[in-house]
Amino acid sequence: MKIFHIIFVLIFCSLSAQKTIPLDTLKLKEAKDMLADDYGNLYIYKNKDFSFTKYDSLGKQIGKMMLTVPYKVQTVQNPLSVPLFSENAQEMKFVDQNLNEIQRVDFKQKFGFIKMAYAEDLQQLWLLDESSKRLIQYNFRNENTINSYPFDACFDDLTDLLVYENKVYILTKKHIRVYTLKFEKIFEAEIENGKRFRRENEFILMITNNSIFKYVPEKEMVKIFEDPEAQIVDKNTLSYFEIKVNNLYLYNLEKNKETKQPAEPDPKIKDTEQDVERSTGKAIEPDSPEGKLEKKTQEIESENPSGSSLQKLINYSTEVQAAEV
């Protein structure tokens, strides 16, 4: 039984290591943005050629769009209807799970100049009209303006907009601001390289180049993930994702920690490693099953230090158990 305990610990340690997602480095080299849905699919937007590509969790391409002007991908939380906004084209596109266009909303004929748009659901949009200085609630299904609010905010360096429960969230590269629909500011904080919002039920998250924050209503922004070396970060409901040195990494969520530092080992892994040291630190008889296993382990590792040695070790332990019987 002790043999299998040691093998179990070795397997646990190998599975607890940082996971690298198999995506070709060339596909990530010029990525401007990266998003992940709850099915493990990855979406890469490149500003160089305005391409938007979707891959599954194994790196297989599912769909690709070649856009003619820059677009901002709002969210991929609903893979069946992904909204993309273009300030240049003054329009909002919706694409399906294969990145085929399913609807286009043209703002040029009905509004002034839309600086930012937010798709609240499959019927309503919130539009920041820079020319009229108004926030517009618009039903694009029946092409009807529901409400219009005076909103004389600064639109410089605007990167994202979100409206939830009568609160207006404005994100720029250097600030996050929260207003009521009456244009009353209720929160403001400085940030660096603000990119976009993400709403998870009642929680509002804010994503920068290398960190993710959670908004505590009218109080503060709490950092829940950070890696200073990352180029791009994102999350879904199960994991954090990051692009670092043109490689894509995944980290499982740790619900008991407010701040996740990817470079630090998981405490569970530390405990497991200590258990291995304690279990292997005792004197072992050379002719005992444990002694034979240790000797065989050293032989396998000297022959082949790669991951296949673990499988050989398991096979050998099975033979030892059979011989004892």
Query: Mind listing the pLDDT tens digit for each residue in 186-206?
Result: 999 999 999 999 999 999 999
Identity (one letter) of the amino acid at 216?
A: V
Radius of gyration in angstroms for the set of CA atoms belonging to the chain, rounded to a whole number = 26
Whole-structure pTM over 0.95, yes or no?
no
Residues in CB range of 255: below 8 A, 6 or more apart: none
Distance CA 101, CA 152 (A): 33
Distance CA 36, CA 79 (A): 10
At residue 300, φ and ψ (nearest 5 deg) are: -65, -45
pLDDT higher at 323 or 208: 208
Where residue 57 falls among pLDDT bands split at 50, 70, 90? confident
Identity (one letter) of the amino acid at 100?
A: N
Check residue 155 and give its pLDDT: 78
Where residue 137 falls among pLDDT bands split at 50, 70, 90? very high
The fraction of the chain above a pLDDT of 90, given in percent, is 64
Tokens of 172: 């720029």
Check residue 81 and give its pLDDT: 97
For residue 162, how many C-alpha atoms fall within 13 Å in the half-sphere facing its CB? Answer: 24
Residues facing 124 on adjacent strands: 139
Summarised one tens digit per residue, pLDDT across range 204-225 is 999 999 999 999 998 999 999 9
Where residue 275 falls among pLDDT bands split at 50, 70, 90? very low
Residue 87 has pLDDT above 50, yes or no: yes
Distance CA 74, CA 93 (A): 10
Mean pLDDT along residues 24-46 = 91
Mean pLDDT along residues 84-95 = 98
Check residue 7 and give its pLDDT: 42
Distance CA 134, CA 130 (A): 7
First-last CA distance in the chain: 13
